[in-house]
Amino acid sequence: MIPTEDILKTLEMVQIENLDVRAVTLGINLMGCADGDSDRMLHKIRQRIHSVAGHLVACCDEVSAKYGIDIVNKRLAVSKISSLLEAHDPSVCLPLAHTLDEAARGVAVDIIGGYTALVQKGFSDGDRRLIDSIPEVLSNTERVCASVNVAGTKAGINMDAVLLMGRQIKRVAELTADKDGFGAAKLCVFANIPEDNPFMAGAFLGPGEPGTVVNIGVSGPGVIKRALERLLESGRRVDLGTIAEEIKRTSFRVTRVGELMGREVARKLGVEFGVVDLSLAPTPRIGDSVGEILQTMGIVKIGAPGSTVAVAMLNDAVKKGGLFASSSVGGLSGAFIPVSEDQALSRAVAEGSLTLEKLEAMTSVCSVGLDMVVIPGDVDAETISAIIADEMAIGVINNKTTAVRLIPAPGKSVGEKAVFGGLFGQGDVVDVRNAGTSSRFVAYGGRIPAPLHSLKN
């Protein structure tokens, strides 16, 4: 019998502290839809998505009702679309993206990831077609998300791809200028992209994954913040070891919710259960913020000295608690710091305490990178590429995933705000210092070789 106080604690987590399952992402391999006839291929894609994902939302709602816990986002991640484009000319790209968009709408899913290319060592014809089409696709579809892996620890950094992606990010933002460049919020550039990530915009079904699989993204910044507040109010003598322990315990509880509900959704859908992604994913809601956890830990101004070590400790403790709670952990699994989606981080940018450089430092010890960062619309493409290259270097050298999701908001400059709405939130424009002074470096192109795997100092 579960003790009453444990029932009350769980109820508090759910009802007051914003505990939910952030994402149930259904991975679908579309390679079986490959066909030299584009109309037939698009028809097969529609059929495949409808047959596998037709009941996804109903299953999620049923499991959600049983446990009384929201599943906030139901999403699809398909196998990389660049492979389907190998045998087609560029004119197929937009109709294919529309097919994905409509198929997602047809199964009541708000986002579909997998408009993806993996080019860390070079481009295939399909990769080129996909990357070239990204601005048109993201500005003409509602639900499609794109991702491009340009670097890897074993491959190095494809600087030709980095250069190209800087231009594409800028172009996407310009084509969606009426929404403050929102199209760029649906585009991620990666190093060491995970094959089983359930979080958008970077989710896709990797080549080593099952044909269909459910991956789960848990949530819980609010739960961890409240647990730390209770610890600090308890009157107990608290040191940083105690705080790490409390984060670990709370992460265990949060992960368990994802594990339980994810396995049940997978069983109901008749597909494999993949992983629980332990990432702490904030939302723009007050009380659901990674930044607020750092403040509760004693970093009053996020971005101040101490911010990096605090987020490193948080990230590590979250993983330790989560790993014990689930036998199948994967994806990104770390604390996210997506600026516009986290009201405390967003405020820190507005107040000037959190700079691009400090964000970059923090991303070297947490997940996932420079995420949802709004920069001035007049920053040149080469500078965006240089920012991407810096972030890729952190991932490649440290053997971890890093990503860049920058929004160069057209017509906006420092002191102004870009408003996206919903889970994407709103963000103050972050200053990019020394813009325009790295162009010669990134313009060399080529591939930065893979790093040493020994002599690590």
Partner 1 sequence: MNTGTAKYVINVVTRDQVGIIANVSDALFRLGGNLEALSQTVVWGWFTMIVCGTFPEDVAAGDIATAVENAGDYRAIVLPHREGGAQAPGPGEPFVVTVKGDDKPGIVRRLTRCFSEKGINIDDVWFEVHDGQFIVIFRVTMPPAVEPGDLRNELEAAARELNVSLVVRHQDIFVATNSLSVHTRPH
Binding site for partner 1 (CB under 8 A): 1-4, 6-11, 13, 15, 65-69, 253, 256-257, 259-260, 263, 267
Min separation Cβ 321 and partner 1, Å: 12
Residue 303 vs residues 314, 318, 356, 372, 443: alpha-carbon distances, Å: 15, 21, 10, 16, 31
Pick 161 or 260: Cβ nearer partner 1? 260
Pick 7 or 443: Cβ nearer partner 1? 7
The full length of the chain comes to 457
Pick 260 or 302: Cβ nearer partner 1? 260
Min separation Cβ 253 and partner 1, Å: 4
SS3 102: helix
**Nearest to 46, CA basis, from 22, 28, 21:** 28
Min separation Cβ 55 and partner 1, Å: 16
**Nearest to 102, CA basis, from 67, 140, 65:** 140
Pick 183 or 321: Cβ nearer partner 1? 321
H/E stretch holding 359 reads helix 356-363
SS3 118: strand
Pick 12 or 416: Cβ nearer partner 1? 12
Give the span between the Cα atoms of 380 and 403, in whole angstroms. Answer: 19
Min separation Cβ 309 and partner 1, Å: 29
Min separation Cβ 60 and partner 1, Å: 15
Min separation Cβ 67 and partner 1, Å: 4
Q: Give ∠ CA 294-295-296 in degrees, rounded to 5.
A: 90
Residues sharing a CB contact under 8 Å with residue 330, sequence separation 6 or more, in sequence order: 194, 196, 197, 215, 274, 275, 276, 277
**Nearest to 218, CA basis, from 71, 17, 6:** 71
Residues sharing a CB contact under 8 Å with residue 441, sequence separation 6 or more, in sequence order: 386
H/E stretch holding 41 reads helix 38-53
Pick 81 or 254: Cβ nearer partner 1? 254
Min separation Cβ 324 and partner 1, Å: 9
Pick 22 or 253: Cβ nearer partner 1? 253
